[in-house]
Amino acid sequence: MSHIHLPDGILPVGLWVLGWVLLAGLLFIFRGQFQKERFSSKIPLVAMFAAVMVISMSLEIVPLFYHINLSVVSGIILGPAWFILCSFVVNLILAFFGHGGITVVGLNSLVISAEGVLGYFMFKALRRILKKISWAGFASAFLSLLLSTFLALGIVAVGKTNLSSAFGIGHEHHPEKQKGFLKFETEKPEEHKKEVSAEFDFRKFLFLVLGFGSIGWILEGLITGGVLSYLHKVRPGIFEG
Amino acid sequence: MDLAYLDYLATSGKSFLHRFPAGLKIILALTLIGFIILIKQALFMVIILAFLYSLILLSRLPFIKIFLISLYPLIFALIFAYASLGRGWEWFFIILLRVLGTATTMILLFSSTPYPCIFASLGKVFPEFLITVFFMTYRSIFILFSIFENIRMGFKLRGGFQLKHPKRSLSNFAKAFGYLILKGMDDSQRFYEGLKLRGFQGKIEHNRRYCTWNRR
């Protein structure tokens, strides 16, 4: 749980539809590269990395109840374009068995894509500075997970302003929008504003996600550093391919 | 792993739900998810859940196992629900019921429909090239999982994950996954060579007849 798997039915429809649209847009941008390499060995490689990610996400580190993603490792080896495709495949398959929502596959894919793509660029930059692969791997995984968590939090923050209407519970009083002869005003707008903000305690949510997440980022960072170091020792030049 | 178990349920079941055409099942599942997302009353959501649970029982699928699998996304939903407690307990339960409802729908779909049928039906919406990636990923999951079982045994023999020795445990864990990745990369190359030999043109053919009423 180093990142959030947004579940179904929590975010407003417009937001998760936007997630699908953005993901489709990204895949469309890279369609040239996919078309060019569609007969190459890249497709089985993407499938294999997607499988590695699905397996790693479905296994918990037992005493800690965390799972790792290996998104940064996959991002570094596959490169940004193929990793976006990989994260979509992973999220769709995970949604099939209830791990993350089906409607929010677009948003979840964008969050995980951000992890891999940021990890890819950070690792490239940090490798020159830190020299040691394990440290560069740790730092790039930690930072990209931190940033992608903030991306997920940003999505929830955008959604939370709409959460009341998304759930449809409670009441929406917009006297200024009411049409007709009669205008019912049962409460002052300031009181209503106060009530809406109490519906979803974003600070509480932020505290929980960052609190649990920080342990996950460190764990994922350490494991990513270890995996990258192992790969570099066993197969030198793997990151150049 | 849940995925292997659900796949077993989908291919071994012989109920009416298993024989129902995959495309129609996907449409029904998406409609049901649409209802769950749009419905505003907890009571209606309980009715939908009761309908889903009765389908599980009528299809002779293992109710308790499926119920337990569907609880997994509640871990994430609980964070959202807890943050929304200011709105009251009704809201808290609506969030949980929505997540439980959509997860149960997806698990029911996946445990009653073999994956080639799901991907073949998705081929009408997604590009064929993407469906090929889905097929290969799904196949790779089972190949890698059997490799991972062996690695896990080795990992356990080396002490497994011990909180007393976090450095050694994490190092072993990282090596296990590193090895899995290398094996996966080698296997993907071998897989590709095999496919090329058989005339792979970037598309895997599938038999749609298998996914209709008269498949058995």
Reported as a single tens digit per residue, the pLDDT across A182-210 is 343 444 555 544 444 456 777 877 888 88
**For position A171, what pLDDT does the model report?**
44
Q: Given an 8 Å threshold on Cβ–Cβ distance, is A231 in contact with B178?
A: yes
> Which of these ranges, A72-76, A151-155, B82-86, B165-169, has the smallest mean pLDDT?
B82-86
Contacts of range B148-153, beta carbons closer than 8 Å, 24 or more positions apart: B148/A55, B148/B180, B151/B176, B151/B179, B151/B180, B152/B176
Phi, psi angle pair for A67, to nearest 5°: -125, 155
Say how many residues make up chain A: 241
Q: Which of A18, A9, A37, A53 is nearest to A155 (CA)?
A: A18
Q: Contact A20/B107 with Cβ under 8 angstroms?
A: no
- Give how far B216 is from chain A: nearest CA, Å: 24
**For position B93, what pLDDT does the model report?**
87
Name chain B contacts of A39, Cβ cutoff 8 Å. 200-202
Q: Given an 8 Å threshold on Cβ–Cβ distance, is B91 in contact with A199?
A: yes
Residue A83 has pLDDT above 50, yes or no: yes
**For position A184, what pLDDT does the model report?**
39
pLDDT digits (tens, 9 = 90+) for A69-78: 899 999 999 9
Nearest chain B alpha carbon to A103: B33
Residue A148 burial (C-beta neighbours within 10 Å; 0-12, 13-18, 19+): buried
Q: Which residue has the higher pLDDT, B153 or A194?
A: B153
- B177, B189, B190, best to mutate vs chain A, most A CBs in 10 Å: B177
Instruction: Answer whether B27 touches A (CB < 8 Å).
Output: no
pLDDT digits (tens, 9 = 90+) for A149-188: 889 888 888 876 555 554 444 444 444 444 443 343 444 5
Q: Which fold has domain A13-164+186-234?
A: Arp2/3 complex 21 kDa subunit ARPC3 (1.10.1760)
Name chain A contacts of B2, Cβ cutoff 8 Å. 58, 97
Q: Which of A99, A81, A109, A147 is nearest to A19 (CA)?
A: A109
The mean pLDDT of chain B is 84
- Give how far B137 is from chain A: nearest CA, Å: 4
Instruction: Answer whether B176 touches A (CB < 8 Å).
Output: no
Average confidence (pLDDT) over A127-148: 91
Percent of chain B with pLDDT over 70: 93
Percent of chain A with pLDDT over 90: 37
Average confidence (pLDDT) over A55-66: 67
Out of A98, A200, A202, whose CB is closest to B69?
A98
pLDDT digits (tens, 9 = 90+) for A21-43: 999 999 999 888 887 776 677 88
- Give how far A205 is from chain B: nearest CA, Å: 5
Q: Given an 8 Å threshold on Cβ–Cβ distance, is B137 in contact with A200?
A: no
Q: Given an 8 Å threshold on Cβ–Cβ distance, is B86 in contact with A201?
A: yes
Q: Parse chain A into domains and list their residue ranges.
A: 13-164+186-234
Residue B57 has pLDDT above 50, yes or no: yes
Q: Which residue has the higher pLDDT, B183 or A98?
A: B183
Q: Parse chain B into domains and list their residue ranges.
A: 2-113, 120-215
Instruction: Answer whether B70 touches A (CB < 8 Å).
Output: yes
- Give how far A41 is from chain B: nearest CA, Å: 6
Q: Which residues, 6+ apart, have CB-to-CB distance to B26 below 8 Å?
A: B109, B113, B118, B121, B122
**For position A84, what pLDDT does the model report?**
94
